[in-house]
Structure 1
């Protein structure tokens, strides 16, 4: 007795093969998404570290400034509307009453308004290869008045510096902006 098979085994095998293929394709997609997420996380960490380096460079700029730069940092004239150039590069003030603060109005990534890392301090940073930032981080400095608790409101205010830095990741589009307040000892 020979029974004729209607090819059902072939159909079942093809359905199982398609199911296994779909599982493999979805596993490969998940693996690729995980790799992309890990790469983006690493890229953000590179940008964060670069921005932190720029904050430290700005603090060195404030603390160890040469005579010309120190005079500019001490006086209000360099912190006028917009950002300075030359020896006053990166020293920024508000555009006027009711205008946003300089750190919101300035394109931190652009040349000409912000200070690239090492411009005034001589600090070096490698860029553009492997796990390094695409370009050097940049920063601006704003001079802000404050008063200590218990001081008279009509007296001369003291000043601190608000430093805003931008760091770049391995890709140009990855950017991290950090901000710190820096006060000279004794102020």
Structure 2
């Protein structure tokens, strides 16, 4: 009887240890997947900045990003050559990036987001293992920029002195497509010849 009780206790300890090991493995896999998605979203932010700047080898559509021009940006985001270029939502509506389908299917235009490398020519491997399940995506919103010390109300009415900053929203995917990370950054393109 004593031996039987001892065997039951050892069996319960073994089952408990196995469950803890499996939980630890699931947590590690989930964290790895989250890191893959995070890195993919960061790469999409950099790709969007390269899209804005039109760096050598990535001419894309940099002419649409003049520091003092809103040309190419549309309500609800543009299409074609202006894909992912968006005017902000009205003040009484939710932020545009909250109402957009950032994780739209590959090739679908419903989300109106830009797949990684579409305008810059950048390449990202996707697939299985330690790779994202699919390319990250981004959209760029045009926001008014008011330099420190300037009154926001004064600049809003004078289009001649209007300056812009871009809010970039990117989504990255992990090895599992259900693992998604959304990151945002603000980016201001300097006028040609302007100092920092």
Q: 1:61 aligns with which of 51, 61, 64?
A: 51
RMSD (Å), alpha carbons: 1.9
Structure 1 unmatched ranges of 5 or more:
1-10
The TM-score with structure 1 as length reference comes to 0.87
**1:58-90 per-position Cα deviation (integer Å, ceiling 9, x unaligned):** 000000078882343333243222011100001
Aligned position for 2:93? 99
Q: Does 1:183 align with 2:188?
A: yes
Which runs of 4 or more aligned residues in structure 1 lie more than 6 Å from their structure 2 counterparts after TM superposition?
Answer: 65-68
Q: Per the alignment, in what secondary structure is the counterpart of residue 78 of structure 1?
A: coil
Conservation of the 8 A alpha-carbon contact between 1:81 and 1:96:
no
Conservation of the 8 A alpha-carbon contact between 1:44 and 1:174:
yes
Q: 2:40 aligns with which of 50, 61, 73?
A: 50
Q: Does 1:168 align with 2:162?
A: no
The TM-score with structure 2 as length reference comes to 0.84
TM-superposed deviation, 1:103? 1.1
**Considering only CA atoms, is the larger Rg found in Structure 1 or Structure 2?**
1
Aligned residues: 177
TM-superposed deviation, 1:109? 1.1
After superposing the two structures, state which structure 1 stretch, 90-99 or 46-55, moved more: 90-99
TM-superposed deviation, 1:97? 4.5
Q: Per the alignment, in what secondary structure is the counterpart of residue 148 of structure 1?
A: coil
TM-superposed deviation, 1:150? 2.7
Q: Per the alignment, in what secondary structure is the counterpart of residue 120 of structure 1?
A: coil
Q: 2:164 aligns with which of 145, 159, 174?
A: 159
Structure with greater contact order relative to length (CA < 8 Å, sep ≥ 6): 2
- Looking at structure 2, the residues matched to 147 and 52 of structure 1 have their Cα atoms a distance apart, in angstroms, of 26
Aligned position for 1:23? 13
Aligned position for 1:73? 65
